[in-house]
Structure 1
């Protein structure tokens, strides 16, 4: 994690009548920090924000993460499989280490290589070539930006300034004042959390001082839509048994094999940018969706250092070792054995590109699976995973105070569409299984 004394200063324009930030004006350092959110795996975001006071955003990802931590290591393929999921690597870690404030304290990935040919050659990646002239990590160091209260990032211009004033209902310019604010690690962490929860994160952070508390979380059971599923999704259907309340269709829990638990825990390794892309920039992700749309709208030549950098934000890949064999959502690793690949050198921070004929002494751990099997687990509606036990299942029913006559068992299949709905529900609801599967209660037949 970046040094606690590292600070970034930005100017904010405040509507004093409404006590609201209209927009902020910032250079590369702050905008790079915001864009770095898109490179972070979901597990890292949960780990960094879950212990902050009042942190109730991120749906039930926190419950999924904590259930993972509480699960005995004997249920995993190895000790390292569990530790990888608890602290997933960022495939852009080599870039994020250069941020003025880097909130991700995950240990850098280290690789050792043996070469299969005398003819290997190195090509230094163009990411680092222009650092002295271009500055910045993701954005052009000479460019300044406007950041609206809902995290839309625009080029600095009079036209955009006036449009933001109009958008936020500022009719009298005498009602606005300029302030300078200082941003450190605590503020960046709070802003990351608020970005999922609030539609006014800058106001909440700088004027309402919501550094340690982000208010009540509200679920939105009506926000899920049918999505177009990419043909490469769902190499295999995953089946699980759902126990639900017959009268209302609410899921009590699911009984699942290790393949479904593999899928659930793999959600923690997906970078945020890929999550937003998979969910087609759904409004349920609030300001995070706005941040992603801003990357789409900004120019790779003028605003970003390269098209390559823009692509890494819009379609970040899984870090090496996190692409397991049942890829329901079809996200690739940053390293693939038969392509030219980016690696980090052991003894330097330089990013280099090696030819394909390389064999690493650290083979991918997640390619077969994370969980050991055969095994059966209980998954609650808020995605807490525990080993199956007849006694614990009965106590679950006792906890919900559900009559035996109101319990119904159904078997469902999880493919691409169901996986997308479950991904969205895990981020936006505390009733993930109920909202993802939307199992309507059966209407009893009327007696003749």
Structure 2
């Protein structure tokens, strides 16, 4: 999975070609973080996405999956489940914040994490004014960065325009808000951050197992069962009808928006989005 604005996630789908339906998908931590993160989206933005459609579908299964998931598979913070089950504001992950289009300004949370979510597009005039202001200040800020002495080892970079609260280890990463390089150095006080910490110790679930995502978005750790046992669970009689397919999704494909919309309208989310292309 690449970083920056080209961030993509992958899902390995197991498809029954006879009925053209996804039986389940194998998902990594970032995919599960992304799906759980949909529970934190402000309801107003979801309403804008759905327009007049009812909020029905598979989000309830996501919620129940969080309730049922053993604490051993969650991040050590005791508030992790509460953030998901009783969200008060969006929370993002370094891995997933690029997956929704940058459609509105970052919403600040108490943890200082920003998430770019689904609403109407940014006001072009406002963006133009901000870009002009940024162009005037960019050279001055660059000079300040060159002269600034940072105590300790500098590991992180932020947007020089200061338009988001995102951080990166790669100064060539583009800001998801203004698309400028995030090349302004910043230092970390307290716990030392490195690439491993940023890629693993964030989001909601631990990167310790592969997860099984059902077509209706029910999620659980991948069972330690034989392939035959798993297939028997789905009452598969003809092995020849099964096909594996790896799909990528990211902001370019608008798959994040499609998955969110399908989760509120369908019990066959993965099939609707990746097989039947109904969204």
Taking structure 1 as the reference length, what is the TM-score of the superposition?
Answer: 0.32
Query: Which structure ranks higher in relative contact order (CA pairs < 8 Å, sequence separation ≥ 6)?
Result: 2
State the structure with more CA Rg.
1
Taking structure 2 as the reference length, what is the TM-score of the superposition?
Answer: 0.49
